[in-house]
Structure formats: C-alpha cells, structure tokens
Amino acid sequence: MELNFLISIPKFFFKFDRIYLFIISLLAMMSNLSLYGQLEEISRIVPSHIVQMEKINNQFILIGRSDTYSQNYVPDGMAVLLDKSMMEMEVSFRFREKNGNLTRWIKGEISRLPNSERSIIYIRHEMCQKSVMFYFKVISQVGFPEIFSSGIFLPDLEKYPKGKAVRKQQIADLPKPVIITRSEWGARPSTHGYSTHPYYTKLTLHHAAGFSAEDIDEGKEQLRAIQDLHQFVRGWSDIGYHFVIDKAGNIYQGRPETVIGAHVLGNNTGNIGVCVLGCYHPPELYCGDWLSDETTSALVALYAWISNEYNYNPNILLGHRDYPNNDTSCPGNNVHENLPWFRNEIERYLNLGGPPLEFSISSNYPNPFNNKTKINYQVPSKNHINIIIYDLLGREVKTLINQVQSKGDYKVAWDGVSNLGEAMSSGVYFLRFESDRFSKNNKIILIK
C-alpha cells in the first residue's frame, strides 16, 4: 500500500511554504529544460516530483518520487541532481518493486559538483534491479534543496568480443596533437581494469553538459570531477571518454583510446569517444555555449590523428544522440548541426597531411621598420610562390621569393635594399604574395 504524504508545518509558515513548494515543484517540472545534462550522460532520465516538504525540529525534510518506469528495465542504481545543496545533508532511497511492495529506506550517497551549489545524490543497490519507481529523501539543517532532474542507471548489456585490433600502416605522418596526460591532470587508476578494442569502427562526439573550463587549470579540475561522477556515482571503472577538450583547445587523455570506453550505451566496442567541456543545447537553461575556435581546431586535429592512426573514415563521426536506445540531446544542437562540416574538415586535414591547411601570410614585423623586417607565411601544398616588394608607383623593388616550395611554415626578411643593391628611401611599400590559388597585399613602412 502506497504511503500518503502530507505537508505538516506551523500555521504561520503555511502560506510561505506553499508558495515555496510551488516554486520548487515548478523547477522540478522544468527539469527537461534545465541543468540535467550531467545525469543525461550517465543515466536514463526519469521525471520526478516532490511529494512532501516539512520542517520538524529544525530539520528540513524533502521527499520526492520518480514516475513509473518500464518493468523491462533492470536498473543498477538511481540518481537525483540537486541545486542549492551544498549544506550538510542526509539522503536515502526506497523503491516500489515490480510486485507492488514498497521497500525500507536505504542510505544513499552524495557527490558534490565543483564550482557550483549542485550535488548528485545516488544509490547503487541490488534492490534497484526489481524496482519500477523510486523515492528519495533529503534531510538538512539549513533549508530545502532544489530538484533539477533524476534518472536510473541502465546496465550496458553489450557483448565485448575478445581480441586486439591491428592498427594500419599510416598513410601520412600526421602529427599527434599535444595531449595532457592522465598523470598531469591527476587521474586515479582504473578500479577494475579495461577491455581492449577488438576493432575500430565508430567515432563519437559528446558535450559535458554542465562541466566547463576556460583554461588548463579549470580543465584539470573538471576532468577529476567527471572521473568522480563516472567512477563513484555511476560505478564505471574509469572516466568514460577517451579524450576531453576544454574551451581553450587543450586536449586531455581520458581512458586510453585503445580500450573500450563507457560513453554510448550498447555501442562502446570499437568506439572512440571525445567530449567537449561546456553545454551546447540551447533548449536547456544555461546551455547556450558555442564551440570556440580553439576547441574547433583541436577537435579537427584530434579526430584527424585518430582517423589516421586507427584507420577510421571521418564520415562515420556521429553525435551521442545518433545511436539507437540512447535517449539524450548530447552533444547539443549547437554542436550536432556542425557534424557535416567536421566530417569534411577532418577529411581535408587528412588529405593535406595536417597543418598548414591554408595559404596565409602575416603582417611584417616590425612595421614601420628601419633595419630589417620579417614576414611569416604558410604553404599548405607544393606550389610556386612569389613574394615581391613594390613601390607606390607599382614598380618592382625587390623579389624576396620566386620558387617552388613544399608544404610548410616559412619566414622571409627584407632589409630595405632593392634588387640592384640600392638602399631604399623612407616611404610606403607593398608586399605582394602570390601562389597558384592565393594572393595577398601587405603594406610596409620603411623609416630611415
């Protein structure tokens, strides 16, 4: 028989707490438009509702209940994402079983999310496996937390074939991007080992949906927080992703890319997963990030290296949401809509053999100059290059480069002397860069 919960509070608090309860309940109903991304990546989201809030002897007691979920599910555990929850709390869970029985309360655990007032309360227990609904209770001495979302942990029933993939002979010697190692960001060891990829057939892009970092120090902290979430809360052996990229374009090693990850339910074998820090799904509140240029460049370079190293076709790159039975918005609309561009750009990167990918020429430095000025330029493929200095009347003054050059980064200098060996007078000159497919003019100022 289901318990009927009542709100029991002093009369002079009645109006205030009814309003507060309404606000909290409204926030809970908005969970599908809120900050539930951290749970969405590790669980199947199940709506939940507040059924009791009361203050008894200076204790704030909140009880919530999930919606009923399918009897076909055999959950490993449950979790609830809370806000305004940095106070000391006691948490517990109970379950409505498939036969209708209601279990006793069982103590739950708490995981704090860094640089926020959010926490995840969770439980992993054998009783979870027989449930079709769960209740959660939070007791604090300070106030009521806000409920963002809740979810259940579904087991990954994917069969992992044994074997070790044979890597291809590399076609191009693509440079491996600089990658921050596990020891550099302070990773813990795997709790119960890995299984090696028997083949490489899938590439997947994720967003962290709430974990974000603008620089390497923040990135290291967020990597440790994600590993906490995946190891302690979800119960996986290690961080689920193989690589993570922050907003400054720094790349971090997750679990080794040669082993099976934990990032796409039922589709982890042969699948290398990359996650970008930030939240990129504007339908959700506070989730309107756009990929920075640094992150975008790092993604292209990393996926190109992975594709070359492990014989991937970049056209197989998918977002997390593209896999069957993965009920998620990941990697967010602002990333997902760019996947066709990423596939083409990764393939172009591979075809060009890595950077440089475009013709470019920098402004000369220093400018104005007196003695000598230097110019940097890039050639993406073998080409005939002309770099010529002209005066204001369009007359050729000095030919700096007139030759075929291979792909690479180059530097050239001008000392203010003409082709005839004459020192040029002060004034404005123009540098003309020309190749088969690119040209550009730069202004140069010479001061004697």
Domains and CATH numbers, the chain: 11-153 (2.60.120), 179-351 (3.40.80.10), 360-446 (2.60.40.4070)
pLDDT of residue 42: 87
Amino acid at 61: I
**Beta carbons of 257 and 306 less than 8 angstroms apart:** yes
pLDDT of residue 167: 56
Amino acid at 422: E
Split the chain (448 residues) into runs of 10 and give each run's mean pLDDT: 35 41 41 51 90 93 96 93 84 96 96 85 94 96 90 84 58 82 97 92 94 94 94 95 97 96 94 96 87 95 94 94 91 96 94 87 92 93 94 94 93 95 94 93 93
Q: Which residues pair with 361 in a beta bridge?
A: 377
**Beta carbons of 163 and 215 less than 8 angstroms apart:** no
Q: Which residues pair with 133 in a beta bridge?
A: 96
Q: How far apart are CA 27 and CA 201, in angstroms?
A: 41
pLDDT of residue 325: 85
Cα–Cα distances in angstroms (integers) from residue 199 to residues 195, 268, 283, 344, 435, in the given order: 12, 11, 36, 23, 43
Torsion of CA 206, 209, 215, 219, to 10 degrees: -80
pLDDT of residue 114: 79
**Beta carbons of 311 and 167 less than 8 angstroms apart:** yes
**Beta carbons of 261 and 271 less than 8 angstroms apart:** yes
Q: How far apart are CA 46 and CA 334, in angstroms?
A: 24
Distance of CA 171 to the CA centre of its chain: 29
DSSP assignment of 162-226, as one string?
Answer: ---PPPPPPSS-PPPPPEE-HHHHTPPPPSS---B-S---EEEEEE-SS---SSHHHHHHHHHHH
Q: How far apart are CA 317 and CA 225, in angstroms?
A: 26
pLDDT of residue 103: 96
Amino acid at 151: G
Report angle CA 5, 6, 7 to the nearest 5 degrees.
130
pLDDT of residue 285: 75
Q: How far apart are CA 222 and CA 18, in angstroms?
A: 37
pLDDT of residue 89: 92
